[in-house]
């Protein structure tokens, strides 16, 4: 079985550099220097991401006070979902959209909309 070598959260608007998500390490995104976002509606720690290179998944947990969005669903503080390669999330509903990208990409049958 293949395994990803790296994973990134890519800002769809391309104003924020790719954010590296190390294998099985927690990365917290929110308002601050990593994202360069200054919007006070966004918590400094809004979401927690943990990439799993073995199964090409990303665990997303909302840790901030305001809701976030993943695959079109609203998530509130403490709620968890899992994302796959090329699936997206928003730090706030309708704002700050990112796409999850693994390199190399998973086998086609593992990608959203396939198999």
pLDDT band at 114 (very low <50, low <70, confident <90, very high): very low
Number of domains within the chain: 1
Average pLDDT over residues 18-32: 97
Name residue, tokens 């976030």. Answer: 68
Asked whether residue 67 is domain-assigned, the answer is yes
Asked whether residue 56 is domain-assigned, the answer is yes
Average pLDDT over residues 72-95: 97
Does pLDDT of 104 surpass 80?
Answer: yes
C-alpha triplet 48, 45, 17: angle, nearest 5°? 75
Asked whether residue 34 is domain-assigned, the answer is yes
Average pLDDT over residues 38-46: 95
The pLDDT > 90 percentage for the chain reads 86
Instruction: Name the residue range of residue 77's domain.
Output: 20-109
Asked whether residue 115 is domain-assigned, the answer is no
pLDDT band at 85 (very low <50, low <70, confident <90, very high): very high
Does pLDDT of 101 surpass 50?
Answer: yes
CATH number at residue 55: 2.60.200.20
Does pLDDT of 110 surpass 80?
Answer: no
- What's the confidence (pLDDT) of residue 1? 62
Average pLDDT over residues 86-108: 95
Four-point Cα dihedral 62, 65, 71, 72, nearest 10: 160
- What's the confidence (pLDDT) of residue 13? 92
- Is 95 within 8 Å of 74 (Cβ atoms)? no
């Amino acid at each position: 079985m293949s395994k990803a070598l790296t994973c990134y959260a890519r800002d769809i608007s391309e104003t924020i550099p790719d954010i590296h998500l190390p294998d099985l390490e927690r990365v917290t995104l929110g308002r601050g220097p990593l994202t360069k976002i200054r919007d006070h509606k966004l918590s400094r720690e809004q979401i927690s991401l943990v990439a799993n290179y073995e199964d090409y998944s990303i665990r997303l947990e909302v840790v901030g006070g305001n809701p976030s969005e993943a695959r079109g669903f609203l998530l509130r503080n403490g709620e968890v979902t899992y994302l796959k390669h090329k699936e997206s999330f928003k730090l706030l509903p309708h704002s700050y959209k990112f796409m999850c990208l693994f390199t190399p990409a998973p086998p086609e049958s593992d990608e959203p909309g396939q198999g």
